[in-house]
Every structure is written in C-alpha cells, then in structure tokens.
C-alpha cells in the first residue's frame, strides 16, 4: 500500500520528505485539470493529491507502514527509521551537522588584543575597576597643606638652592650639612640662603 503511494508520485519507497514534496509539485502542475485538458487528468490529479496527503505526514506513513506488508511492517522502512532517529531525515541531519561544523571551523578566532579591546570587555574592566576603587580605596583623602608645610632640607651652595637629603648624593655625603626645617615651596627653587 505504501509502495503504491510512492509509485503514484513516481518515487522509490522510502524517499525523503523533500523528494515527496518536489514530486508532488511537479506532478500537480503537470496533471492539474485547469492546465491539462486530458479527460483522465482530473482522476490522475486526485490520485496524486491523495498520495501526497498521506505521505506528507510522517505519523500517517508510519501507521500505514505498520498495517502494510514488506519492509515497513518488518521495521526496516525509512519512515520507521526516521521515528527511531534514522531514515530519510538522517541524511539531512548529517548534512546540516557537517555544514554547522564547517561554519564553526571557518570562524576566525579572536586574538588576545581583540578580546581585550572588545567593547563588552572594556565595560567589564571598567566596572571591575570602579568596584575595586569603591571597596579598597582609602576612606580618608590626604589633606593638602598649602604654604605652611615644612620639610627637612639642606642648603647647597653650588646650586644656590635648598635640597632634600638624598643618601646617594655625593655632595650631601661629603659635606654632611645640618638639616633645617624649610617651607616646602622653597625646596629645589632658587630661594634666599639660610640666615
């Protein structure tokens, strides 16, 4: 019975769903009573339409296959294989999986620099920096003293200016001058010599 339905559409038994649809469209166009003036065209078109209606629904074909003799009754038919994950749709699924893998392989991988400069990554890093600053930043800001802050300094006669002591400075080591409290704004500037 199922074999006869495929034969009406001019297909072999177990043809794919796409093949069934293409055969139906081709034959329907050829045998439609409006375009074919043959007296038997209406009956042929009706047979083609009925065969397609039965074959387009997978569940119907499986039910027909259970009742029919041959490969469908024994469980070896393509329509029953499709229900078990094989059959006419297995080739299409395998082809789609291969195409999907090819697309994934063709995607170029991003370099580390491209990942770091990606806008989402920049937003993430910025949010992390703000969070770190909010949690770990000191709660008190240093007070800026203007004009009245003093530092230890010594008078350098060669340069005619006040300098802070530096252990690596050879002139400071040779002279070993006494340190004085000097306003910070006078250090490293030409300022009046000590009195």
The predicted structure's pLDDT at residue 68: 52
pLDDT, tens digit, for every residue of 8-41?
888 887 777 888 888 899 998 988 988 888 888 8
Model confidence, pTM: 0.34
- Residues above pLDDT 70, as percent of the chain: 69
What does the alpha-carbon distance between residue 90 and residue 84 come to, in Å, rounded to a whole number?
Answer: 10
Range 2-86 has CATH code 1.10.10.1200: no
pLDDT digits (tens, 9 = 90+) for 124-150: 889 998 888 877 766 655 555 565 788
- Sheet of 161-163: strand order equals 161-163, 150-156, 180-183
Mean model confidence pLDDT for the chain: 75
- Extents of the domains making up the chain: 2-86, 150-186
Q: Token pair of 155, please?
A: 């008078």
- Flag whether pLDDT at 78 surpasses 60: no
């Amino acid at each position: 019975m199922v074999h006869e339905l495929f034969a009406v559409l001019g297909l072999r038994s177990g043809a794919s769903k796409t093949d069934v649809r293409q055969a139906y469209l081709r034959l329907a166009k050829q045998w439609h009573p409006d375009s074919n003036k043959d007296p038997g065209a209406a009956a042929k078109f009706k047979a083609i339409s009925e065969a397609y209606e039965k074959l387009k629904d997978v569940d119907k074909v499986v039910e027909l296959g259970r009742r029919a003799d041959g490969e469908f009754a024994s469980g070896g038919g393509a329509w029953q294989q499709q229900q078990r994950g094989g059959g006419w749709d297995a080739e299409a699924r395998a082809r789609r999986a291969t195409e999907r893998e090819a697309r994934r392989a063709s995607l170029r991988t991003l370099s580390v620099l491209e990942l770091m400069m990606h806008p989402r990554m920049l937003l993430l890093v910025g949010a992390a920096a703000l969070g770190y600053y909010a949690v770990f930043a000191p709660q008190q800001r240093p007070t800026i003293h203007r004009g009245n802050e003093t530092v230890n300094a010594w008078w350098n006669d060669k340069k005619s200016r006040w300098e802070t002591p530096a252990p690596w400075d050879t002139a400071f080591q040779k002279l070993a001058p006494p340190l004085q409290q000097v306003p910070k704004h006078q250090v490293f500037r030409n300022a009046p010599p000590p009195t």
